[in-house]
Amino acid sequence: MPVRNSEKAFSSPAFWDRIAFIMAFVIISFTSFSQGSPEYGSGIKLNLNTEGTRYIRFINWGQIWLRSQQNNPGSVINGEVKNKTWDIGARRLRVITYAQISPRYLILAHVGINNQTFATGGGFGSSGTGPSGAGKKPQLFFHDVWNEYAIIPAKDAKTGKGNKYNLYLGGGLHYWLGISRMTSASTLNFLAIDAPIFNWPLIEVSDQFMRQFGFYAKGKLGKLNYSMAVNKPFATNNTPVYDT
């Protein structure tokens, strides 16, 4: 009897709801501590000169989710109709490398994967089960690769004081685009939550995971933050559909 009761408990949706809530609380607490941890400092940073003005820095993050959710009626998960499901998956696994090769010149590369679960997010051509199952061996790809030059840097290199106005110009495969600030929001700033998909209304239609090739300008005018870009969208043969 105890074994049967345990099986019922583990299969109960309420049980997994409680587990998901506990894990979410732990992850939020850990994220809050790690971002302000004194041991973190500047992270993994290799100085290229004694002053520390030229360096290479590495940032990596893994956002692992335990989810319990109620599905829409008739939802099919892994070939079966499911009213409620739970899973553990990788929302984002990323690595950023950026090289400040001079006080004004920066090179950034951002690589990773997204949205891998037990049944989705596998590599190109994956399906079914086995070694090439639908959720296995996701494809690693570049999210961002761009070069940036500081016309007016945020901090004066000679005095070390901050400038009230600054201007940066850059180009490459970049994230400076969209209809609002939330369209290019950094996921490092909200690891324990996620932004709604309508922030990216055209994702994967004319972009590469919300990135496009182009040139951009960004900076600050006092308290005003601004950015603008000229981009070349990826080719697409999808015809826009308008809601009526």
Q: Is the pLDDT of residue 44 over 60?
A: yes
State whether residue 103 is helix, strand or coil: coil
> Would you say residue 61 has pLDDT above 90?
no
Is 5 domain-assigned? no
Please indicate, yes or no, if residue 24 is contained in any of the structural domains: no
User: CA-CA distance, 65 to 112, in Å (whole number)?
Assistant: 16
What's the chain's length in residues?
244
Distance CA 110, CA 101 (A): 17
Is 243 part of any domain? no
Q: How far apart are CA 114 and CA 118, in angstroms?
A: 13
Range of the domain at 205: 39-232
**CB distance 145 to 112 below 8 Å:** no
Give the number of other CB atoms < 10 A from CB of residue 212: 19
pLDDT of residue 169: 98
What's at 123, amino acid-wise? Answer: G
Q: Is residue 196 part of a domain?
A: yes
Reported as a pLDDT band with limits 50, 70 and 90, residue 72 is very high
Rounded to an integer, what distance in angstroms lies between the CA atom of residue 179 and that of residue 167? Answer: 21
Band of pLDDT at residue 160, cut at 50, 70 and 90: confident
Q: Which residue has the higher pLDDT, 148 or 192?
A: 148
The whole-chain average pLDDT of the chain stands at: 83
Distance CA 166, CA 169 (A): 10
| 35-39, 142-146, 229-233, range with the lowest pLDDT | 35-39
* Percent over 70 (pLDDT), the chain: 80
Residue 115 structure tokens: 């949205």
**Cα gap 167→151, rounded to integer Å:** 5
Q: Has residue 180 been placed in a domain?
A: yes
The tens digit of pLDDT for each residue in 22-39 reads 555 444 444 444 444 556
> Tokens representing 49?
């000169």
CA distances from 20 to 86, 103, 121, 169 (A): 9, 45, 21, 43
Is there a domain that residue 34 lies in?
no
Predicted local confidence at residue 19, as pLDDT: 56
Query: Does residue 143 register a pLDDT over 80?
Result: yes
In the chain the first and final C-alpha atoms are separated, in Å, by 58
DSSP string computed for 192-243 = TS---GGGSTTTTTSSBTTBEEEEEEEEEETTEEEEEEEEEPPP--PPP---
Number of H helices, E strands in the chain: 2, 10
pLDDT band at 20 (very low <50, low <70, confident <90, very high): low
pLDDT digits (tens, 9 = 90+) for 83-117: 998 889 999 999 999 999 998 999 999 999 999 99
Helix (H), strand (E) at residue 21: helix 13-35
Domain tally, the chain: 1
Q: What is the pTM of this model?
A: 0.78
Torsion over CA: 117, 204, 195, 229 (sign): positive
Compute the half-sphere exposure of residue 32: CA atoms within 13 Å on the CB side of its CA.
7
4-19 pLDDT, tens digit per residue, is: 444 455 555 565 565 5
